[in-house]
Amino acid sequence: MVPELSVSRRTRSTPFTSRVDAAGVQAYTVYNHTLLATKFRGFVEDYWHLCEHVQVWDVSCEKQVAISGPDAYRLIQLMTPRDLSKARIGRCFYVPLCNPQGGIVNDPIAIKLSDNDWWLSIADTDVMLWAQGLATGLKLDVTVTEPDIWPLAVQGPKAEELMARVFGESVRDIKFFNIKPMYYQGVAMQVARSGWSKQGGFEIYVNDASLAGPLWDQLFTKGQDLNVGPGCPNLIERVESGLLSLGNDMGYDTTPLECGLGQYVDLEADIESLSLPALRQLPPKRELKGLVMNQACKISDSQVYIDGVFVGEITSHAFSPKYGVHLAFVLCSLSVLGANLKLDIQTDTGLQEGLLTSLPFNFNALGLAPNP
Amino acid sequence: MVPELSVSRRTRSTPFTSRVDAAGVQAYTVYNHTLLATKFRGFVEDYWHLCEHVQVWDVSCEKQVAISGPDAYRLIQLMTPRDLSKARIGRCFYVPLCNPQGGIVNDPIAIKLSDNDWWLSIADTDVMLWAQGLATGLKLDVTVTEPDIWPLAVQGPKAEELMARVFGESVRDIKFFNIKPMYYQGVAMQVARSGWSKQGGFEIYVNDASLAGPLWDQLFTKGQDLNVGPGCPNLIERVESGLLSLGNDMGYDTTPLECGLGQYVDLEADIESLSLPALRQLPPKRELKGLVMNQACKISDSQVYIDGVFVGEITSHAFSPKYGVHLAFVLCSLSVLGANLKLDIQTDTGLQEGLLTSLPFNFNALGLAPNP
């Protein structure tokens, strides 16, 4: 039986929730204490629509942790091993946040709004509490808050066209991972070219609850001929694209070096970062790898084996309708993995073989072509 | 339409989840990134069963934040305005945790296991991150972890009898809010007389996942003649009992003094607590009150009014089958409330009158007798 979700004041609704409900949401999850839709027509139908058209996503659950004051940069740099010392205003940065042991606390987008004003657009842990604890303990000259901001994502190949119709042509000039204020009904709100898919698009940092409904409605009115639809981060698309999910594929017990995020760790940088000493010293014990199975399957045990020896755990998986294979992420123990590339996966119909590969998936190199 | 809950690795399952599913759970919520059942047969049926028999609850979502080391007490005292300087080993303490502004970060049970070992059995925010931030910033000599512990609650008037059959007669000697190690299949696990209902009972801090299933099963086998059943924190029972819920009835924007938790704030104590300076100075702006309506109703707007003027917000509510009235908690603005005791509530069938009262509800004083 598929369980219902009990909704309460604690599982926060958003200024878009009435629209999401009216659009026929089938399933939710709870993310940062907030409702996040997971399915409208079905994972597969939602997937194809996202890859071909344009979707509007209520991602209010991406809370903004706003860090302001003379010590804002210092606090953010302490929290991440990525060198932000040369960060420019108006740019977005994917930053693993790590504790002093090197474990991943969160993997937000850091947004530099001014020298003393940053936002962390967070995944599903209470980063505000960690930042407030550090700021209080270190007596930093900053304020750390969670302002009333409800991001709305517009994603898909037709996202730019739809955004231009609502925000004007200049939205086309926003480059990837850049952010700038745009106006909606006279109110300035930050708009970034970003989003949790690889289909292209924007995130609108809506800062006025009374404009949320009108903005949602206008995106649908102006996008009718673009086949705009309601949507949400899609499991199939994000696995295919190699996008990791905090709590699923990484967390306190993994380091960014173990999860393929080494490019966001500046081991040589001369910066004050809580996690760098540990990350410099600890050799990775595990590695997050891709796994490809030749056919759709019902995985019955997330633990995977080589010749009966436990070697790792599947953290996310989905069947790719585009490539006709089942894709997974596997967190492998390097000590037992060795040079092996073939794993055994328990499925409803018995053991099935899977091929280990690097992430993100290189479908070309795997000899896989998209279905026409 | 009632939405489904999408379950993933991020919405952690527990060692009891297979039993909870098999017991016919109808709805879940997500609490501390973990599944928490909310309904089995129905809120009303679950309520009567809890008040009359005994239930087994998977409350693994009550994560333990373990604070160990020479500075353990100092860190916990910094986090709470309740004076814990004379706390005795083996006791449990309900402690609001507050930030330097006096806002409520969490409202755990603090458990003193030894002078240098405490657990915080937390509600739904990442207390570990806040404690780690403070400990790191202040360079305290402590470790702060979330150990693998999955609390199982046994609640209801027949709980003591059932617990004695499984853990032995000595479990009857555990006094309210006391904790001591008991043995199950040779493994010592902490057992407290506590739980999130007012029907009496225990919480077992299960520390061995392989014993979770056998313990669940044995509670059901040995409790058959006691009419044992699966259960979970029950909305009706907790509203009737005046039990507050973090995220629903209180949070960062309320102080314990505003939520009727003044008895857990030691304003005069000579202790080092981050929030005491603010709590000593800030006059409460709001007050959490009880609200009684004469009949069951579908509340259509959580905002409540006096003569058309907004005065507060309903934070939780339920119809009490025992007293035949609809009960609610309301967070009232003291400045507009004045001495008024009657409020207007928007319902599906129009405005309905409600009577303000103190919390917890005093049904006797309200002239309400339980249905026979």
Q: Are residues B58 and B162 in the same domain?
A: yes
Answer yes or no: do A26 and A171 share one domain: yes
Q: Two tokens at A91? A: 């740019």
Is the minimum CB–CB distance between A38 and chain B shorter than 8 Å? yes
Domain identity same for B166 and B112: no
Report chain B residues whose CB lies below 8 A from the CB of A12.
247
Specify whether A212 is located in the same domain as A87: no
Q: What is the pTM of this model?
A: 0.97
How many residue contacts between A and B have a Cβ separation below 8 Å?
157
Check the CA dihedral B251-B255-B257-B262 and report its sign: positive
Which single residue is written with the structure tokens 């991001």?
Answer: A151
> Last residue of some domain: A239, A266, A299?
A239
Across the interface, whether the CB atoms of B129 and A124 are under 8 A apart is answered no
Phi, psi (degrees; rounded to nearest 5) at B182: -125, 160
Q: Is residue A370 part of a domain?
A: no
A277 is a domain residue:
yes
| Model ipTM value | 0.96
Interface membership of A145 toward B (CB under 8 Å): no
- The answer to whether residue B5 sits within a structural domain is no
Do B55 and B204 lie in a common domain? yes
> Is residue A311 domain-resident?
yes
If you search the block for the tokens 């990350």, which residue do you land on? A279
| pLDDT string in tens for chain A (372-residue length) | 678 999 999 999 999 999 999 999 999 999 999 999 999 999 999 999 999 999 999 999 999 999 999 999 999 999 999 999 999 999 999 999 999 999 999 999 999 999 999 999 999 999 999 999 999 999 999 999 999 999 999 999 999 999 999 999 999 999 999 999 999 999 999 999 999 999 999 999 999 999 999 999 999 999 999 999 999 999 999 999 999 999 999 999 999 999 999 999 999 999 999 999 999 998 899 999 999 998 888 898 899 998 889 999 999 999 999 999 999 999 999 888 877 789 999 998 888 999 999 999 999 999 999 987
Q: Does A128 share its domain with A269?
A: no
Task: Give yes or no: residues A223 and A247 share one domain.
Answer: no
> Are residues A54 and A70 part of one domain?
no
Subunit contact B3:A99, Cβ cutoff 8 A: no
Q: Is residue A253 part of a domain?
A: yes
The answer to whether residue A357 neighbours chain B at the CB level (below 8 Å) is: no
Whether residue B9 and residue A247 make contact (CB cut-off 8 A), yes or no, is yes
Count the domains in chain A.
3
In a shared domain, residues A259 and A286: yes
CA B279 → CA A13, A138, B122, B337, distances in Å?
30, 22, 22, 22
By the CB < 8 Å criterion, does B262 face chain A? no
- Choose the final residue of a domain: B217, B239, B261: B239
Please tell me whether residues A226 and A204 are part of one structural domain.
Answer: yes
User: Using the beta-carbon criterion (under 8 Å), do A10 and B247 form an inter-chain contact?
Assistant: yes
Q: What is the largest CA-CA distance in chain A?
A: 64
Strand residues in A243-308 grouped as ranges (E): 286-293, 299-306
> Which structure tokens are listed for A310?
């436990």
Closest CA to B160 of B170, B172, B178, B173: B172
B4:A2 CB<8 A = yes
The answer on B207 and B100 residing in a single domain is no
The residues with which B309 forms a beta bridge, in sequence order, are B306
- A134–B136 CB contact, under 8 Å: yes
CATH code of the domain in which A343 resides:
2.40.30.110
Q: Is A99 on the interface with B (CB under 8 A)?
A: yes
Owning domain of residue B123: 64-145
Compute the distance between CA of residue A155 and CA of residue A234 in angstroms, rounded to an integer.
11
Q: Is the CA virtual torsion A73, A74, A75, A78 positive or negative? A: positive
Q: Residue B91's domain is classified under what CATH number?
A: 3.30.70.1400
Residue A234 shares a structural domain with residue A202: yes
In a domain, B40, yes or no: yes
CA distance B123 to A176: 39
Q: Nearest Cα to A55, choosing from A197, A191, A188, A173?
A: A197
Residues of B in contact with A315 (CB under 8 A): 9
Interface test mutation site (partner A, options B10, B17, B36, B76, max chain A beta carbons within 10 A): B10
| Residue at which a domain ends, from A239, A272, A303 | A239
Give a yes or no: residue A6 inside a domain.
Answer: no
Count CA atoms closer than 13 A to B233's CA, side-chain side.
23
The contacts of residue B178 (CB under 8 Å, 6+ apart) are B90, B91, B92, B192, B193
Q: Which of residues 171-200 of A touch B (CB under 8 A)?
A: none
B125 — contact with chain A (CB < 8 Å)? yes
Beta strands B54-58; B228-231: pairing state? parallel
The answer to whether residue A369 is domain-embedded is no
Q: How far lies B370's CA from each of B47, B233, B240, B366, in Å?
A: 14, 21, 12, 12
**CATH value at residue A192:** 3.30.1360.120
The pLDDT confidence band at residue B1, using thresholds 50, 70 and 90, is: low
